[in-house]
Amino acid sequence: MVPSSTVQGRAFSWRFLAPLYVGSALNPVNSSLIATALVPIARGVGVPIGRTATLVTALYLASAVAQPTAGKAGEVFGPRRVLLAGIAAVGAGGLLGGIAQNLLTLLVSRVLIGIGTSCAYPTAMLLIRRRARAAGMEQPPGGVLGGLQIAGVATASLGLPVGGLLVGVLGWRAVFLVNIPIALVALATTLAWVEADGPLDGLRRSEVVARLDVPGIAGFAAAMLALLVFLFELPTVHWWILAVSIALWIADIAWELRVDSPFIDVRLLAARPALTNAYVLFGLVMLCQYVVLYGVTQWVEAVRGYGESAAGLLLLPMTLVSGIVIALISRKNRVRGPVIAAALTTLAGSVGVLLLDADVWIGVVAVLTVVFGAATGFAVAGYQTALYTHAPPEHLGTAAGLLRTFGYVGSIASSAITGLVFRHEVTDHGVRLIAWIMIGVSLGLTVLTLADRTLRSR
């Protein structure tokens, strides 16, 4: 009899996992990669610096909608097909951005990159589940999901130092063109090492529309975009945009309750509170992480006088520590312990932000990034295991994409908070106000996590 460890090793070889991990890392890295290129881009295409911030917004908006959409498409057409289409979109977006002569072309490029990179994580979850079932396993080895978690979330802070290096050596176009060789490697390895999907059995257009729930996707996209635009416009409050978003959400939910194959299964979310709670709590953790990633970085540059590259290097411990924590925790496939640790660590780190002022030892920032790196590691390990445990297998792609969407909502909310607090000037008083906001959020996170008895592994 072949030992189970040997079966697992054959099923989840490095060849199968490599393209999934590479593809899943592209979205978080691209989300922060462009940060150090905004000023050179403004000079290069002749626009005010403020307008280049739309390049950040474009990828966030595209990704927030595309993640669950790609998951749903993977469930209908096959995950490998959707992954290959996403890789092609990443390459096209990188090429278009590399030759762009104006801001509009760059925006189209970022949308393509956002849509393309969003295909990787939900399809990877589907491919891993398919491989686990073929090997006779109820769940894949914890290390497999842990590697996907590291690639999919923990790499976000890598974009800042890597972007600074690329811009400094090769110019701003390099932050777009770098996607081309990576996409080619991902394309070749996926074609060679990931098994093909089954036949589509001649699906007619009406069947595709029904199984994808195209009206549901359109309603979700419209409601989510309106909500994100409202958040991005803060501190200017446009109540009418929020009202439009609420109306669209109500209409979309009403539609989803009527159809046989809903894009977002509202009844499922109501029947499985563990899944719904995982989304909300994960979004709160990501809110605090991204406040540190962007808000504290602004304070380091504006108040302490550090350059972009040095500020990016201060954030490297966040990536390293979160990766280590994920690798250690994910092997056990636990949920409740890691999510409680994530809440308490986030609270401790938020209190620590109160220490920041113009005279504090800069090493305190590095210590805080270690704390938040650990919090991210605990959260990602716990909530992804909860997702895999509680999501129905036939809806795993959409469920995985929704987890990422909630993470993006948290990151966009963090951008709104830092924009509101630092709207006139980045100061010590502002960073302490941010700390109190984070403490309030993390207190709520801790109370909700401790009170939640549904978030458990089977």
Report the distance separating Cα 376 and Cα 132, nearest Å: 26
**Percent over 70 (pLDDT), the chain:** 92
Between the alpha carbon of residue 311 and those of residues 79, 107, 296, the distances in Å are 38, 26, 9
From the list 181, 174, 192, the residue with the least C-alpha distance to 91 is 181
More confident residue, 100 or 37: 100
pLDDT given at position 2: 45
C-beta separation of 98 from 171 below 8 A: no
More confident residue, 315 or 98: 98
pTM of the model: 0.82
More confident residue, 384 or 158: 384
Helical ranges in 238-362 per DSSP H? 239-256, 266-271, 273-290, 297-302, 308-314, 316-330, 336-353
Long-range contact set of residues 210-216: C-beta below 8 Å, sequence gap at least 24 = 210/259, 210/260, 210/261, 211/76, 211/261, 212/72, 212/73, 212/76, 212/263, 213/72, 213/256, 213/259, 213/261, 213/262, 213/263, 215/255, 215/259, 216/252, 216/255, 216/256, 216/259, 216/262, 216/263, 216/264
Report the distance separating Cα 395 and Cα 116, nearest Å: 20
| Residue 98 banded pLDDT, cuts 50, 70, 90 | very high
Q: Tell me what the pLDDT averaged over the chain comes to.
A: 84
| Residue 8 banded pLDDT, cuts 50, 70, 90 | low
Report the distance separating Cα 72 and Cα 70, nearest Å: 5
**Residue 1, pLDDT above cutoff 60:** no
**Residue 252, exposed/middle/buried by CB under 10 A (0-12, 13-18, 19+)?**
buried
**Residue 5, pLDDT above cutoff 60:** no
CATH code 1.20.1250.20 for 13-211: yes
Amino acid (1-letter code) at residue 275:
L
pLDDT given at position 202: 61
* Token pair 């949308």: residue: 111
Report the distance separating Cα 144 and Cα 298, nearest Å: 35
**Residue 299, pLDDT above cutoff 60:** yes
| Residue 4 banded pLDDT, cuts 50, 70, 90 | low
C-beta separation of 49 from 39 below 8 A: yes
Amino acid (1-letter code) at residue 437:
I
Could you report the per-residue pLDDT of 375-411, keeping only the tens digit for each? 988 998 888 888 888 888 878 888 888 888 888 888 8
Q: Which two tokens stand for residue 15?
A: 């060849």
C-beta separation of 381 from 143 below 8 A: no
pLDDT given at position 3: 45
Q: Which CATH number fits domain 266-458: 1.20.1250.20, 2.60.120.260, 1.10.10.60, 1.10.3720.10?
A: 1.20.1250.20
C-beta separation of 68 from 402 below 8 A: yes
More confident residue, 234 or 238: 238
More confident residue, 111 or 384: 111
Query: If you average pLDDT over residues 23-32, what whole number do you get?
Result: 83
Of the given ranges (36-40, 131-135, 353-357, 438-442), which has the lowest mean pLDDT? 36-40
pLDDT given at position 7: 55
More confident residue, 408 or 123: 123
pLDDT given at position 201: 66
pLDDT given at position 422: 79
What's 424's DSSP letter?
S
More confident residue, 5 or 213: 213
More confident residue, 268 or 190: 190
